[in-house]
A and B are shown apart, each in its own frame.
Chain A
């Protein structure tokens, strides 16, 4: 028996049977394909700029006041 014959016999023993390969195919196509939707871009909440601006303005005003002396 040649090496190629031995390899062929071994390959036949390990090869996936056609029925099993078909079963795998059927299981996969029964799985719904995820539909590509619009890519969600992470964005700031609508209120973020309003809060930021208000906080910024408050701190600017505070910074112009003279620091209180400790009692």
Chain B
């Protein structure tokens, strides 16, 4: 077996989805990139074992590793965040000039914040679909849940997101 070619195939087939999953676990962008490396390092170290599996089992194996590593990272991250929050004295920021780029960035931030506020299962499912480029069936196989559950979570997540963006677009709506 050409180890590097096999690993490249596994990496290319799964890296976007695994990164999306880690982003969906809400551990921050840099920890997500670092964890992606840790996940695929495990794949590389267990290549003989993983390469011998059927393709759907390979993805499930990789996602199990990603889930286990992200649980540890989540705990570390939240312990650190609590400490930093206790110590932080953020200075007031000067008002930024409003431009189209700023508005677009602000809207992306609003979407990101709305996604962060989703319940974890909905958030992970939505991020796997939106950023991970997976279909409902692929998400179901990766997470080990029925495809119907994935579609239901996606529907709830999209509804919550649409409501959050509705409030952003029309703040008077609720009054």
Contacts and interface: CB of A to CB of B under 8 A. Distances in A.
Interface of A: 1, 3, 6-11, 13-16, 20-21, 24-25, 27-29, 31, 33-34, 36
29 contacts: A3-B158, A6-B111, A6-B165, A7-B130, A8-B130, A9-B107, A9-B108, A9-B111, A10-B131, A11-B20, A11-B130, A13-B108, A15-B20, A16-B16, A16-B32, A21-B19, A24-B36, A25-B8, A25-B11, A25-B40, A27-B37, A28-B41, A28-B44, A29-B4, A29-B7, A31-B44, A33-B45, A33-B47, A34-B45
Contacts, number: 76
Contacts of A6: 107-108, 111, 161, 165
B33 to A, nearest CB: 6
B37 A24 contact: yes
Interface of B: 3-4, 7-8, 11, 15-16, 19-20, 23, 29, 32-33, 36-37, 40-41, 44-45, 47-48, 104, 107-108, 111-112, 115, 126, 130-131, 158, 161-162, 165
